[in-house]
Amino acid sequence: MMIKNSMNEIKIKASKYEKFLSYAIRDVSRIEPKLLSGTYEVLDDYKLFEIAKINEVESIVASALISHQIAGVKLASHWRNAHNEMEQKITEYMKELDRLAEIFSHQGIPLIALKNSGIARGIYKFYGASPMGDLDLLIEKDNFYRAHSLLESLGYKLKFRNKYEKEDIAEAFSNGSAEYIYTLSTGAKLWVEIQWRPIAGRWIQDTQEPKGADLFFASKSVDDSYVRILCPEDNLLQVCLHTAKHSYVRSPGFRLHTDVERIVSREEIDWALFINKVETLNIKTAVYFSLALCKSLLHTDIPNDILNRLRPPTWKKIVISYWLNKNNIFNPNEKKWTNFGYIVFVSLLYDRKRDLFNAIFPKISDMKKNTGYVNFLSLPLLYFKRIISLIIKRTGI
């Protein structure tokens, strides 16, 4: 039996091993055991495992193989070990998430678990199939400094993984997020990011992000927990923008597309409401590629009329699709972009030229709010620093 790539929207170059991975990381409920096992049996197990590791999906594939194992087929120990190690790791992450949510709640600071954190805790509770590198927590802007103090009192240390970032809470606040490192009781290190902006990317202006107050108002609680997660439409929009922030291919790259898959497969999406949110924020191109890639890679059930509504001009679709294949959807830790190439690619994701201009040169009112603005004469230097920041800090190379 052969697993074929979907011909929907975007043609993805993939080896037979990569096609298998694309099938095996689907929502476990959408995997046919005979198709999975029939294809698995004709592949070299060791090579498959190595390619899965390179793409950071070995525990997800292991979960599928364990869940759908056919009698008489002995699964190699490296798959079970990968699954069990991830399951133990994420179990500890979720315990700490629940602990933080309870402590924060008692201090009057509600929090929303974003991306994998929220998906694993409230939607797709297969911890062995939910690899993640950190916990991402959305808080209200007015609670940012209180949350910082509370985390420090709990033993969390402000520290950024990006070597270009300074451990300065005021600068973190202006950028919309702060990162912390913590040692769990098991001795393992945990990274936690708190953010008042749902995306908090330098290339994504807050005017093109959902408003935090709206997200909290529409959010929902997770059973037996103080944790909240985004409503389905906001959740889908947030992971689409997050995937775009990683230019669809940068680490963790390929694995990111499971976020869209899990939400669409497990949640009831009000597509009319979702489309309205996307069009209001003028982010059709960025969201289109997140959805189209997920449908092409994982055959996710995204309605064709939704893709038709979001599809960018033909020339842009051709150029971006070509570039994505050229830089390879797979192997996320390969060098993907030059500085210049990344900037050009990101510029193509904007629906409107004025949004791109505002991303590079924010309004003076925003510069006053988010920088060390002193007077009008200081603006040229601040804009120059911003351009350098865009080039150096967020290219991912």
User: Residue 135, by phi and psi: left (phi above 0), alpha (psi -120 to 50) or beta?
Assistant: beta
Q: Is the peptide bond before 252 cis (omega within 30 degrees of 0)?
A: yes
CA distance 379 to 372: 10
Ramachandran assignment for 260, one of left (phi > 0), alpha (psi -120 to 50 degrees), beta (any other): alpha
| Structure confidence by residue, pLDDT tens digits, 251-267 | 888 999 999 999 999 99
Closest C-alpha to 195, from 276, 118, 95, 307: 118
- Reported as a single tens digit per residue, the pLDDT across 107-151 is 999 999 999 999 999 999 999 999 999 999 999 999 999 999 999
- pTM of the model as a whole: 0.88
- Phi, psi for 146 (deg, rounded to 5): -65, -40
Q: Span 299-322, mean pLDDT? A: 94
Q: What are the start-end ranges of the E strands in the chain?
A: 112-113, 134-138, 157-158, 177-183, 189-195, 220-221, 228-229
Q: What is the Cα–Cα distance from 31 to 258, expressed in whole angstroms?
A: 14
Q: What is the pLDDT of residue 3?
A: 44
Q: What percent of the chain has pLDDT over 70?
A: 84
State residue 336's pLDDT score. Answer: 85
More confident residue, 9 or 268: 268
